[in-house]
A and B are shown apart, each in its own frame.
Chain A
Amino acid sequence: DGGITQSPKYLFRKEGQNVTLSCEQNLNHDAMYWYRQDPGQGLRLIYYSQIVNDFQKGDIAEGYSVSREKKESFPLTVTSAQKNPTAFYLCASSISGSGYTFGSGTRLTVV
Chain B
Amino acid sequence: AQSVTQLGSHVSVSEGALVLLRCNYSSSVPPYLFWYVQYPNQGLQLLLKYTSAATLVKGINGFEAEFKKSETSFHLTKPSAHMSDAAEYFCAVSGVLGGNEKLTFGTGTRLTIIP
* Chain A interface (Cβ < 8 Å from any Cβ of B): 4, 6, 9, 30-31, 40-43, 45, 48, 50, 56, 88, 90, 92, 94, 96-105, 107
Contacts and interface: CB of A to CB of B under 8 A. Distances in A.
Interface of B: 9, 32, 34, 36, 41-46, 49, 51, 90, 92, 94, 97-103, 105-108
A31 B101 CA distance: 9
A104 B42 contact: yes
A30 B49 CA distance: 20
A94 B103 CA distance: 10
B98 A41 contact: no
A110 to B, nearest CB: 18
Contacts, number: 63
B105 A94 contact: no
Contacts of B46: 99-101
21 contacts: A4-B43, A30-B100, A40-B108, A41-B107, A42-B90, A42-B105, A42-B106, A45-B102, A50-B99, A50-B100, A90-B43, A90-B44, A96-B100, A98-B49, A99-B32, A99-B101, A100-B46, A102-B36, A102-B44, A105-B42, A107-B41
Contact of B105 (A43, A88, A97, A103): A43
Contact of A40 (B36, B42, B49, B107): B107
A107 B40 CA distance: 11
Given A42-B106, A42-B108, A94-B103, 11 more contacts: A31-B101, A40-B9, A40-B108, A50-B97, A50-B99, A88-B41, A96-B101, A99-B46, A99-B49, A99-B94, A100-B46
